[in-house]
Structure 1
Amino acid sequence: MKKNKVITAAEAIALIRNGDVLTTTGFVQSCIPEALHAALEARYVETRAPRDLTLIMTAGAGDSKGLGTGRLHHEGLLRRVIAANFGRMPKVAKAAQENRILGYNLPQGVISQLYRACAAGQPGLFSKVGLKTYVDPRHGGAKVNAVTTDDIVKLVEVDGEEWLFYTATKIDVAFIRGTSADPSGNISFEKEALTLDCLAQAMAARNNGGIVVAQVERIVDDGFLLPKDVRVPGILVDCVVLAEPEMHRMNYGVQHDAALAGQIRVPVAGMKKMPLDARKIIARRAAFELPPNGVVNLGVGAPEGIAAVANEEKVTPYITLTTEAGAVGGVLASGSSFGAATNADCVIDQNQMFDFYDGGGLDMTCLGMAECDRHGNVNTSAFGGKLNGCGGFINISQNARSVVFAGTFTVGGLEIAIEDGQVRIVQEGRGRKFLEAVEQTTFSGTYARERSQPVIYVTERCVFQLTDKGLELIEVAPGIDIERDILPHMDFRPIVNQPVPMDSRIFRDEPMELLSDLLNLDLKDRVSYDAERNLLFVNLEGWYCRVKTDMDELRMTIVEACRKAGQRVNSVVNHDGFRINESLYDDYAGMIQYLQANYYATTTRYATSAFLRLKMEEALNRRGLAPHVFERKEDAQAFLGVADKKARKMISPAIVSAA
Structure 2
Amino acid sequence: MLSNKVVGVRDALSVIKDGDVVAISGFNLTTAPEYLILELFEMYKETGHPNNLFIISDTLPAVPGRGLDKVFEELYEDKNQNFIRGVLMPFIGWSPALMKMTLENRIEVYSYAIGTTSYWFREVASGRPGLLTKVGLGTFLDPRIDGGASNEIAKEKKTCKVELMDINGEEWLMYTAPTPDVALIRGTTIDTDGNLTMTEEGFYGTVLNIAQAAKAQPNPGKVIAQVKYVARKDTIPTRDVVVPAPLIDYAVVSPDADKYHRVSGSYVTDPRLSGQVKAQKTKELESLLPTPDKIRDRIAAGRVLIETMRLAAQLKKPLFGNLGIGIPVYVSWLAGELGYSDLLALTVEPGPVGGIALVGQDFGVAISPQAIIPMPDMFSNYEGGIIDFASLGFMQIDDKGNVNPSYSPVRVSGPGGFPVISAGSPRTFFAGGFTAGKFDIEADNGKLIIKQDGNITKFNKELVKIVFSGPQAVKSGKHILYITERAVFQLTEKGLKLIEIAPGIDVEKDVIAKMDFKPEVADDLKTMPECLFYKDLDPLKDYIDGILKDAGLL
Q: TM-score, normalised by structure 2?
A: 0.89
Aligned counterpart, 2:66? 67
Which amino acid letter does the alignment assign opposite residue 333 of structure 2?
A
Q: Say if 1:506 and 1:174 are closer, same or farther in 2 by CA, change over 3 A.
A: same
Q: Give the CA deviation at 1:120.
A: 1.5
- Distance between the aligned counterparts of 1:48 and 1:278, measured in 2? 53
Task: Using the TM superposition, name which of 127-136 and 46-55 deviates more.
Answer: 46-55
Q: How far off its partner does 1:184 sit?
A: 3.2
Q: SS state of the match for residue 148, structure 2?
A: coil
Q: Report if aligned partners of 2:28, 2:265 keep a CA contact under 8 Å in 1.
A: no
Matched residue SS, 1:295 = strand
Q: Contact 1:177–1:216 at 8 Å: present in 2 too?
A: yes
Contact conserved, 1:58 with 1:391, CA < 8 A, in 2? no
Take 2:409 and 2:449, find their aligned partners in 1: how far apart are those partners?
27
Q: 2:537 aligns with which of 487, 507, 510?
A: 510
CA distance in 2, matches of 1:432, 1:77: 41
Q: Does 1:475 align with 2:500?
A: yes
Does the 8 Å CA contact 1:26/1:59 hold for their aligned counterparts?
yes
Instruction: Output the CA distance in 1 between the equivalents of 2:52 and 2:199.
Output: 35
Task: List alignment gaps of at least 5 residues for structure 1.
Answer: 525-549, 551-659
Q: Distance in 1 between matches of 2:26 and 2:105?
A: 26
Between the aligned partners of 2:330 and 2:337, the Cα distance in structure 1 is: 11
- TM-superposed CA distance for 1:110, in Å, is 1.2
Paired residues of 2:103 and 2:410 also in contact (CA < 8 A): no
Q: 1:515 to 1:215 in 2, by over 3 A?
A: farther
Structure 2 equivalent of residue 501 of structure 1 = 527
For residues 31-42 of structure 1, the aligned pairs below 5 Å read 31-42=31-42
1:558-573 map, 5 Å = none
Deviation at 1:436, TM superposition (A): 1.0
Which of 483-492 and 1-10 deviates more?
Answer: 1-10
* Aligned-residue offset at 1:467: 1.7
Counterpart mapping for 1:191-590 below 5 A = 191-207=200-216, 208-243=219-254, 244-246=256-258, 247-270=260-283, 271-272=286-287, 274=291, 277-290=295-308, 291-292=311-312, 293-380=318-405, 382-497=407-522, 498-508=524-534, 509-511=536-538, 512-513=540-541, 516=545, 519=548, 521-522=549-550
1:423-474 Cα shifts (integer Å, max 9, x gaps): 3234333422111111211001111112221111111222111122221222
The residue type equivalent to 1:158 in the other structure is I
Return closer, same or farther for 1:140/1:335 CA change in 2, 3 Å cut-off: closer
Deviation at 1:399, TM superposition (A): 0.7
Residues 152-206 of structure 1, C-alpha deviations (whole Å, 9 max, x = no match): 1111111221111112421111111111112332111111111100001011112
Residue 91 (str. 1) matches residue 97 (str. 2): yes
Q: What is the identity, as a one-letter code, of the residue corresponding to 1:41?
A: F
Equivalence for 2:78: none
The alignment status of 1:112 with 2:130, answered yes or no, reads no
Q: Which has the higher contact order (CA 8 A, sep 6+)?
A: 2
Q: Secondary structure at the match of 1:223?
A: coil
Q: Give the Cα–Cα distance (whole angstroms) in 2 for the partners of residues 31 and 424 of structure 1.
A: 46
Deviation at 1:364, TM superposition (A): 0.4
**Structure 2 residue matching 1:115: 3-state secondary structure:** helix
The offset of 1:296, in angstroms, is: 0.3
Q: Deviations over 1:465-503 (max 9, x none)?
A: 112222122222233332333233221122233432211
Maintained 8 Å contact 2:29/2:262: no
| Partner Cα separation in structure 1 for residue 346 and residue 509 of structure 2 | 38
Retained in 2: the 8 A contact 1:315–1:515? no
Residue 283 of structure 1 and its aligned partner are, at CA, apart by: 1.3
TM-score (norm 1): 0.76
Tell me the residue number matched to 1:528.
none
CA–CA distance in structure 2, aligned partners of residues 308 and 484 of structure 1: 32
Asked if structure 2 preserves the Cα contact closer than 8 Å seen for 1:55 and 1:78, the reply is: yes
Tell me how far apart the structure 1 counterparts of residues 138 and 302 of structure 2 sit (CA, whole Å): 31
> Is structure 2 residue 24 aligned with structure 1 residue 24?
yes
Say which is worse superposed, 47-56 or 25-34, in terms of deviation: 25-34
CA displacement at 1:16 relative to structure 2: 1.3
Residues 25, 426 of structure 1: CA spacing in aligned structure 2 closer, same or farther, 3 A cutoff? farther
2:25–2:185: 8 Å Cα contact kept in structure 1? yes
CA drift of 1:276 comes to 6.2
Deviation, structure 1 residue 397: 0.2
String of CA shifts for 1:249-268, please: whole Å, max 9, x gaps.
11111222221211111222
CA distance, structure 1, for counterparts of residue 537 and residue 19 of structure 2: 59
CA distance in 2, matches of 1:28, 1:479: 43
* Structure 2 unmatched runs, 5+: 76-80, 313-317
Matches for 1:42-61 after TM superposition, within 5 Å: 42-61=42-61
Matched, 1:8 2:8: yes
Percent of residue pairs bearing the same amino acid type: 36
Give the counterpart of 1:180 among 168, 186, 189: 189
Render the CA deviation track for 1:406-432: whole Å, top value 9, x for unaligned.
Answer: 111222333322333433234333422
| Contact persistence 1:357–1:395 (CA under 8 A) | yes
1:298-351 per-position Cα deviation (integer Å, ceiling 9, x unaligned): 112221111111222222222311122111223322233222222322111101
CA contact (8 A) 2:387 2:425 kept: yes
Give the counterpart letter for 1:11 in structure 2.
Answer: D
| d(CA) in 2 for partners of 1:446, 1:42 | 48
SS at match of 1:386: coil
* Residue of structure 2 in register with 1:163 after alignment: 172
Q: Confirm or deny: 8 A CA contact 1:93 1:387 kept in the other structure.
A: yes
> Any conservation in 1 of the 2:2–2:194 contact (CA below 8 Å)?
no
**Is the Cα–Cα contact under 8 Å of residues 4 and 184 in structure 1 kept in the other structure?**
no
Matched with 1:77 is 83
Structure 2: distance between partners of 1:191 and 1:472: 48
- Aligned to 2:152, the other structure's residue is in SS state coil
* Aligned counterparts of 1:197 and 1:407: Cα–Cα separation in 2: 31
Q: Which amino acid in 1 is paired with 2:435? A: T
CA distance 1:479–1:118, change in 2 (3 Å):
same
Residue equivalent to 2:151 = 145
The 3-state SS of whatever aligns with 2:213 is helix
Pick closer, same or farther for the CA change 1:363–1:46 going to 2, 3 Å.
same
Size of the aligned set, in residue pairs, is 523
Q: Contact 1:62–1:70 at 8 Å: present in 2 too?
A: yes
Which string of whole-angstrom CA distances, capped at 9 and with x for unpartnered residues, describes residues 582-606 of structure 1? xxxxxxxxxxxxxxxxxxxxxxxxx
1:124 Cα offset (Å): 1.3
Alpha-carbon contact 1:217-1:242 (below 8 Å) kept: yes
- Find the aligned partners of 1:436 and 1:383 in 2 and give their Cα distance: 15
Matched, 1:129 2:135: yes
Q: Any idea what the Cα deviations from partners look like across 1:342-365, whole Å, max 9, x if unmatched? A: 232211110111123222212100
CA contact (8 A) 1:22 1:174 kept: yes
How far is 1:53 from its partner? 0.9
CA distance in structure 2 between the aligned counterparts of 1:447 and 1:93, rounded to whole angstroms? 29
The more displaced of 352-361 and 272-281 is 272-281
Name the larger-Rg structure.
Answer: 1
1:122 Cα offset (Å): 1.5
